[in-house]
Structure 1
């Protein structure tokens, strides 16, 4: 059987579908490899989430390669997701009309190396960066020999696999754990999905994502009449969380198919800052809105309870027994309450509970998979409880957490925290919630 010398826009879109399916299938295996830079077992989940966001953007139409790049950059999660987004950005910048041939693939891999080197201040050998660099070098050498797309890709895969196998010799953490680099393994999955697409291998119907609902996650900081804003936007979406920062300010989170009108309403009601829109993986058409499962969350009465309840959880006082049914899920949030028959997500802090709840999928009937994803999210949240809650102390504590990377900071405290000033000082998005009677928590994900 002869393979095509190029992929057109449809072929590239089908590759993205295949990549989403394969990353989902290998998610747990890749997570298990994740020991560097932090053993938080989320690389597979981060790469899958990033590719899902890319595909969701492509579902909206337009140039496929450009849409995949835009969606992945907006939805990038973790270091591995960031690298993946740069690979897709490089692919978009190296193609015309989303057509991928030997030259385009080689150019994309070389450009991806440049973009990643520019994005990462101190790249470490023995990681996905090393595997990407080996893949790019093999592609350049093959292209110089005039080799067509499929044999070029075969050389790229061989070089990438060799580089991946060598990562334990470059990183002591990998060598001690007896594993290869998780991000590099994820990159191999993506390249192999491209080989399978060129081979014309059948993608099973169950693995092909259904049509997306086109939802966006909208997050922003709002200053003005919070009650009026809430009343305006509540009917325009779901998963609404309004984390108040005093009487006339709040951090707002909502999923919506009406992002434009919703944001216009917010600007009309007050001052909007730190606005972020992110494509969400779609809910399959015909999927049930609920599978009859309850998520329970331990939280004290007040703003924290309101936050968890607003995100769809049934709230119980910390230490209280949960009257749960089999298949329910319990976010312990550092409490010692009896979970009953519920599945436990061992969140040891409220910020970890928020992270777990943010990835909960009420339409997925596979409770094992849902719990696994929520546990991944909770583990990815690095948490400290600073002794002092002054502005300078918060800056110092947060910078220590951010030294290992991070995209968003969540601060829960009994004292009012100036999230806007911290965002400006730290250069990353800060969400703060004032909740009387709790110990201050800083979480970075």
Structure 2
């Protein structure tokens, strides 16, 4: 839904309905310009997805705003906070992450006031917040465009005057970006992220004043695309000609401010294009690195990472960095024909039952048993890494509570010369998913990326029996109640194991899924798994089900949905 203004009508204040309209129009604008923005994406990586990432980030913001309208009649503060929070959760890529921080900076001020002067302050705060979130700000990018927008309306005024001046300032700055960033000048394009921001600000002008500004790139003197820019290698001016990192790593992180400050330093040493946005305990982390596993592990040491997305930038032997070519040559052997000795690789997995230990061992993993009340220590994990007798080890803790223990064991193993990648699996079903795509003949980083992606795509749940009366996120439970935990939080309280399991499954599958994994223990009622398999078969025709037996010592039921 969007508000339509009459001719010559303009808004005096940015109320909640106006925020809703702005989100919808910004999404429409980015949708119209998406392909063109993708086409001019040459910095920081020429992967042709800036328009798509901005669109998906704006889509997440709009969906969050629509959700608060569906639940209530929000005020401006609630609407802008929903917008910012939605963008934070759904941010994609370098540009989307920066857009999320821009919206977060605006929301903090617009929650206090809705007039033109507050909008001017909001844009100034947005620019400052975005620049602070980027480890090494570069001029000629969206940061420059955002700063120009803020400067253009710094004097305040009516809502429309401020929005229009911000848009005009941003547009002028956008047209100057090829002269500030060499890679843009060589390609003959403006900055892709900056063009997206101009589209978002244009939607704001349309929302508050009823007029649609001309799209960026159509005015006289605007820089246009001069050929196939997708083939142009992107590199900062200081390192023209060098290949960039191989992977883009993005994850949400629950962590304290102090831990995030340390994380920034660790990630900055690992790669580039580092952007960390958010606050109040929830952050969105974006970085380009060669060692994706190390970037994820840094997040584990800082807090609880989730929604991990790892993208391998297209690369082949012709564009590989010398270190990558050397690694491939080593794997190919002296003759270069691929028949030389390969580095040995192993997987070490923590498992809660004998049956799962056998299953993982059959898949080639070295296992460590985790018994109720007796989690393994870092000494146990280090011993298992040594026992694997491998130069490269992938470590699967399969438990949220073991992330720090696993990180300590990995660090000790590295000190012994073993290359260790820690994948932050939070449940055994995520470990099973990761192990299923493990390919020891792949390059180590590629294997870690594939396993991390498989684990991250698996939502998990667990059924447990309450030992005593307690307060939970789903209400008060009594001793003997069946608890359905989804992603670690109590979501369902029931009396019957089967009925509770069905409810948990339905909630998980409401968000989609293609494969359900059930892991049952020795003391699980024998009819539970067949009942749930039938429930899925009847209600979700396109979903497959696989059942494993964990053996003794495991929870009554573990559920994974991929």
Report the TM-score when normalising by structure 2.
0.40
Deviation at 1:192, TM superposition (A): 0.4
SS class of match (2:394): coil
Report if aligned partners of 2:395, 2:423 keep a CA contact under 8 Å in 1: no
Distance change in 2, residues 1:20/1:11 (3 Å): same
Q: Which residue of 2 aligns with 1:238?
A: none
Distance change in 2, residues 1:390/1:122 (3 Å): farther
Q: Decide which of 32, 55, 58 is 1:51's aligned counterpart.
A: 58
Report if aligned partners of 2:9, 2:210 keep a CA contact under 8 Å in 1: no
Q: Which residue of 1 aligns with 2:111?
A: 96
Report if aligned partners of 1:422, 1:430 keep a CA contact under 8 Å in 2: no
- Specify every segment of 5 or more residues in structure 1 that has no aligned partner in the other structure, as ranges: 203-217, 221-272, 279-350, 356-376, 392-412
Cα RMSD, aligned residues only: 4.0
Deviation at 1:440, TM superposition (A): 2.3
Q: Distance in 2 between matches of 1:177 and 1:275?
A: 37
Q: Does 1:26 align with 2:66?
A: no
SS class of match (2:89): helix
Equivalences, count = 257
Q: Distance in 2 between matches of 1:134 and 1:5?
A: 23
Matching of residues 117-132 of structure 1 within 5 Å? 117-132=131-146
Deviation at 1:219, TM superposition (A): 9.8
Q: Distance in 1 between matches of 2:200 and 2:315?
A: 23
SS class of match (1:7): coil
Deviation at 1:105, TM superposition (A): 1.4
Q: Distance in 2 between matches of 1:200 and 1:24?
A: 19
Distance change in 2, residues 1:64/1:429 (3 Å): farther
Listed one character per residue, the Cα deviations across residues 199-229 of structure 1 (whole Å, up to 9, x for unaligned) are 3369xxxxxxxxxxxxxxx999xxxxxxxxx
Q: Decide which of 389, 394, 405 is 1:417's aligned counterpart.
A: 394
Q: Which residue of 1 aligns with 2:163?
A: 153
SS class of match (1:6): coil
Distance change in 2, residues 1:436/1:187 (3 Å): closer
Return the index of the structure with the highest Cα Rg. 2
Report if aligned partners of 1:126, 1:167 keep a CA contact under 8 Å in 2: yes
Deviation at 1:51, TM superposition (A): 0.9
Report the TM-score when normalising by structure 1.
0.50
Matching of residues 230-379 of structure 1 within 5 Å? 274=304, 276=306
SS class of match (2:150): helix
Report if aligned partners of 1:58, 1:67 keep a CA contact under 8 Å in 2: yes
Q: Which residue of 2 aligns with 1:226?
A: none
SS class of match (2:67): coil
Report if aligned partners of 1:414, 1:437 keep a CA contact under 8 Å in 2: no
- For CA contacts below 8 A with separation 6 or more, give which structure has more relative contact order: 1
Q: Does 1:435 align with 2:451?
A: no
Q: Which residue of 1 aligns with 2:177?
A: 167
Q: Distance in 2 between matches of 1:182 and 1:31?
A: 7
Q: Distance in 2 between matches of 1:185 and 1:121?
A: 22
Q: Decide which of 63, 73, 77 is 2:92's aligned counterpart.
A: 77
- Specify every segment of 5 or more residues in structure 2 that has no aligned partner in the other structure, as ranges: 1-7, 69-73, 213-250, 254-302, 332-342, 346-389, 397-402, 412-419, 426-433, 454-562
Q: Distance in 2 between matches of 1:131 and 1:4?
A: 25
